[in-house]
C-alpha cells in the first residue's frame, strides 16, 4: 500500500500564516458601513431618552419643591389669618394699609384691644413675583410696623379677601371702612399660588359673631363703651361731669376714648365722679386734657393715642320710605274701643287722645319690618291714659312724635324715623315729657333722628333694645349739633332711658343728661357729653 502526501515548502506555509493574521488585523482595525449606520441611529435615541428622563426628573423635582413650599405657605397663612380673624374686633378690606401706609396693597386689615393693635396683610413684590406680608402696629404709631413677617413667598397678584356679613346686617361694605366682627359671619381667602398652581381656600369665623348675637356685639364688648368724637375747635369742653353726677363705665375695656386734642376737655366738678376701669385715652399728646377740679376720677392714668376713630363711621343710615298709598284707621267697639290703623301714608295724623287702645298694623294680618310701612306727614301726638301699640314695621314721623300725660306706648321690632333732614334744629322730632312709658320689643328697635330735637323728661321711662342690623344701636341721632343753647339729645327730670342691650350713636351732637336723669346703655358715641344735677350714666 502506498501513501501519498502533499509536500508544501516551508516558505509557502509561512506566507499562508501571515495572510491569515493580516486578515485578522484588518477586521480589528475598522467598522463596516452597516455598523456605522446602526450606531449613528441608535446612540442619539439612547442619549435623548436619558436626557428626557433627566429633564423629567428635574421638572418633577422643581414642581415637588414648589408644591412643598406652597404647602408650607398655606399652613403659615392659615395659622396666622385664622388666629387674627378669630380674635379681631374690627375688620376692613380697604386697599390702603391700616398698618404701614404706602407699603403695598392691603388685602385684609384687623384691629384689636380697642384699636390699639392693628394688623395688615399686604401684597408686596418679591423679585419678579408677589409675597404676602403680615405687619403689626401698636399704640399710636400706625406708620412704622413693630414687626413684619412674610407669611407667603408665592402669592398671586391682587389677592383679595371676601368678608361675608350676617343676614341681619343692613350695611356690609368692608372695602369702604371698618366693620365690627360681631356682624361678620365669615372671612374667605382663596389662593392659587403660581409656583405650583397650588390652590387652597381658607374660611374663618370671628369669635365675636354667633348666631345668637345676630350681629349685635356681645360681652366682652368689642368696642370702647364711651367715645366722644369732638368735632368742634378748641377750646371745647368735651366731657363735663358736674354737681353730684356719676359716670360708670364698665363692660368691654371699661375705657373712655376722648378724640380731642384740646387741653382741659374733661371737667369733673362738685362731688361728681367718673369710674372708668380702663381709664381715659385722649388724642392730646400733652396728656393734659383732664381738669379734675373737686371731682373724682377712678381708673388708670390718662394715656395718648393718635389712632382714635369712630367705629360706626361707615354705617349706612336707614333708607327713607317712599310715598305710600293713603290709609286710615277703623274703630271696633266692644266694651272698650280698639282702633286699628293700617299701613300706608297719613296726610293728617290719627286722633290718639282718649282711652282707646290703638294698634298700628295690618287689620287682616300681622306686619314685619319689611312688609309694613307707615308714613305720617304731620306730627303724631299721643296723650292721656291711652295705650298705643306700633306693630313690627317701618315708621316715618315726618312732623315728629310727641308723647305726654302718662301715655303708654309699645314699639314693635323695626325702624322709627323721627323728623326730616330739613326740619329746624329747634323743632321737636321726638318728645316724652310727662311720666310716659315706652317699651321696645326685645327683638330690637332703632330710633333714627333725621332732624329736630329730642327731649325725654319729667319721669318718662324709655326701655329699648338695640337693632342688631345696626350693631345694637337703639338711638341714632344723625342731626346732632354741639349747641349748648339748643341741646339736640336731652334726658332730664328723673327720666330714665334704658338701652342695656343697645347703644346711643350721636357722633356730631351734644348728649345732655340733667336733673336726676338716668341713662343706661351698652355704649355711647357722641361728639360731647354733659351731666349735671345728680344725673347718672351707666355704660357697658
Per-10-residue mean pLDDT of the chain, 540 residues long, equals 49 53 56 78 81 71 58 83 90 89 86 83 82 88 89 85 81 78 88 80 85 59 82 80 89 81 85 88 81 75 83 84 84 69 89 76 80 92 84 93 88 92 89 84 87 87 81 88 77 71 85 88 90 88
What is the rounded distance in angstroms from the CA atom of residue 243 to the CA atom of residue 272?
6
Q: For residues 446 and 477, is the Cβ–Cβ distance under 8 A?
A: no
Cα 122 to Cα 70, 184, 343, distances in angstroms: 18, 21, 50
Nearest in space to 481 (alpha carbons), one of 506, 450, 505, 514:
506
Nearest in space to 300 (alpha carbons), one of 239, 266, 268, 253:
253
What is the rounded distance in angstroms from the CA atom of residue 376 to the CA atom of residue 382?
13
What is the rounded distance in angstroms from the CA atom of residue 352 to the CA atom of residue 477?
26
pLDDT, tens only, 223-249: 788 999 988 777 678 898 988 999 998
What is the rounded distance in angstroms from the CA atom of residue 266 to the CA atom of residue 241?
8
Q: Are strands 279-282 and 303-304 parallel, antiparallel or unpaired?
A: parallel
According to DSSP, the residues that pair with 291 across neighbouring strands are 267
According to DSSP, the residues that pair with 303 across neighbouring strands are 281
C-alpha cell at 486: 339748643
What is the rounded distance in angstroms from the CA atom of residue 300 to the CA atom of residue 255?
9
Grid cell 408665592 — which residue? 154
Compute the chain's Rg from CA coordinates.
40
What is the rounded distance in angstroms from the CA atom of residue 504 to the CA atom of residue 525?
6
What is the rounded distance in angstroms from the CA atom of residue 86 to the CA atom of residue 72?
21
What is the rounded distance in angstroms from the CA atom of residue 188 to the CA atom of residue 365?
41
Buried b (16+ CB within 10 A) or exposed e, 505-514: bbbbbbbbbb
Nearest in space to 425 (alpha carbons), one of 406, 446, 400, 402:
400
- Strands of 194-316 (E only): list them: 198-204, 226-228, 239-241, 246-249, 255-258, 266-268, 273-276, 279-282, 290-291, 296-298, 303-304
Q: For residues 497 and 515, is the Cβ–Cβ distance under 8 A?
A: no
Cα 205 to Cα 73, 88, 176, 220, distances in angstroms: 21, 10, 21, 17
Q: For residues 202 and 82, is the Cβ–Cβ distance under 8 A?
A: yes
What is the rounded distance in angstroms from the CA atom of residue 311 to the CA atom of residue 432?
30
DSSP string, 512-530: EE-TT-EEEEEEEEEEEEE
What angle (nearest 5°) sits at the alpha carbon of residue 264, between those of residues 258 and 268? Answer: 85
For residue 213, the model assigns a pLDDT of: 61
DSSP string, 202-271: EEE--TT--TTTTTS--SSPSS-SEEE---SPSS---EEE-TT-EEEE-STT-EEEE---SSS-EEE-TT
Amino acid at each position: 500500500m502506498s501513501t501519498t502526501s502533499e509536500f508544501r515548502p516551508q516558505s509557502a506555509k509561512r506566507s499562508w500564516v501571515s495572510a491569515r493574521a493580516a486578515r485578522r488585523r484588518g477586521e480589528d482595525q475598522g467598522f463596516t458601513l452597516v455598523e456605522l449606520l446602526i450606531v449613528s441611529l441608535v446612540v442619539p435615541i439612547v442619549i435623548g431618552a436619558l436626557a428626557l428622563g433627566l429633564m423629567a426628573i428635574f421638572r418633577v423635582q422643581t414642581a415637588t419643591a414648589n408644591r412643598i413650599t406652597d404647602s408650607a405657605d398655606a399652613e403659615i397663612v392659615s395659622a396666622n389669618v385664622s388666629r387674627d380673624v378669630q380674635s379681631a374686633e374690627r375688620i376692613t378690606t380697604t386697599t390702603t394699609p391700616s398698618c404701614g401706609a404706602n407699603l403695598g396693597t392691603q388685602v385684609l386689615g384687623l384691629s384689636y384691644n380697642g384699636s390699639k393693635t392693628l394688623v395688615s396683610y399686604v401684597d408686596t413684590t418679591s423679585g419678579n413675583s408677589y409675597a404676602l406680608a403680615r405687619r403689626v402696629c401698636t399704640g399710636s404709631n400706625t406708620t412704622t410696623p413693630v414687626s413684619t413677617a412674610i407669611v407667603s413667598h408665592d402669592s398671586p397678584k391682587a389677592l383679595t379677601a371676601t368678608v361675608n356679613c350676617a343676614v341681619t346686617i343692613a350695611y356690609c361694605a368692608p372695602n369702604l371702612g371698618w366693620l365690627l366682627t360681631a356682624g361678620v359671619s365669615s372671612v374667605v381667602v382663596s389662593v392659587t399660588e403660581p409656583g405650583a398652581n397650588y390652590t387652597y381656600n381658607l374660611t374663618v369665623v370671628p369669635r365675636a359673631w354667633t348666631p345668637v348675637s345676630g350681629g349685635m356685639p356681645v360681652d366682652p364688648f368689642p368696642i370702647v363703651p364711651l367715645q366722644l368724637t369732638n368735632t368742634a375747635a378748641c377750646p371745647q369742653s368735651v366731657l363735663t361731669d358736674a354737681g353730684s353726677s356719676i359716670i360708670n363705665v364698665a363692660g368691654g375695656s371699661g375705657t373712655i376714648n376722648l378724640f380731642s386734642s384740646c387741653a382741659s376737655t374733661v371737667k369733673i366738678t362738685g362731688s361728681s365722679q367718673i369710674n372708668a376701669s380702663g381709664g381715659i385715652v385722649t388724642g392730646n399728646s400733652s396728656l393734659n386734657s383732664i381738669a379734675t377740679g373737686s371731682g373724682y376720677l377712678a381708673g388708670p392714668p390718662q394715656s395718648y393715642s393718635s389712632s382714635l376713630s369712630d367705629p360706626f363711621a361707615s354705617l349706612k343710615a336707614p333708607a327713607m320710605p317712599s310715598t305710600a298709598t293713603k290709609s286710615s284707621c277703623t274703630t271696633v267697639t266692644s266694651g272698650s274701643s280698639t282702633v286699628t290703623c293700617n299701613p300706608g301714608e297719613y296726610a293728617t295724623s290719627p286722633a290718639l287722645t282718649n282711652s282707646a287702645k290703638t294698634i298700628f298694623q295690618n287689620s287682616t294680618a300681622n306686619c314685619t319690618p319689611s312688609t309694613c310701612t307707615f308714613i305720617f306727614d304731620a306730627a303724631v301726638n299721643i296723650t292721656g291714659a291711652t295705650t298705643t301699640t306700633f306693630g313690627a314695621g317701618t315708621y316715618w314721623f315726618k312732623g315728629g312724635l310727641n308723647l305726654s300725660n302718662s301715655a303708654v306706648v309699645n314699639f314693635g321690632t323695626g325702624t322709627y324715623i323721627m323728623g326730616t333732614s330739613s326740619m329746624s334744629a329747634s323743632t321737636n322730632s321726638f318728645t316724652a315729657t310727662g311720666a310716659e312709658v315706652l317699651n321696645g320689643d326685645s327683638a330690637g328697635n332703632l330710633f333714627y333722628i333725621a332732624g329736630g330735637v329730642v327731649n325725654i323728661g319729667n319721669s318718662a321711662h324709655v326701655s329699648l333694645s338695640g337693632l342688631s342690623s345696626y350693631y345694637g344701636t337703639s338711638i341714632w341721632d344723625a342731626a346732632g349739633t354741639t349747641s349748648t343753647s339748643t341741646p339736640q339729645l336731652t334726658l332730664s327730670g328723673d327720666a330714665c332711658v334704658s338701652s342695656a342691650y343697645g347703644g346711643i350713636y350721636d357722633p356730631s351732637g351734644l348728649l345732655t343728661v340733667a336733673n336726676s336723669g338716668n341713662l343706661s346703655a351698652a355704649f355711647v358715641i357722641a361728639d360731647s357729653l354733659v351731666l349735671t344735677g345728680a344725673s347718672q350714666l351707666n355704660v357697658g
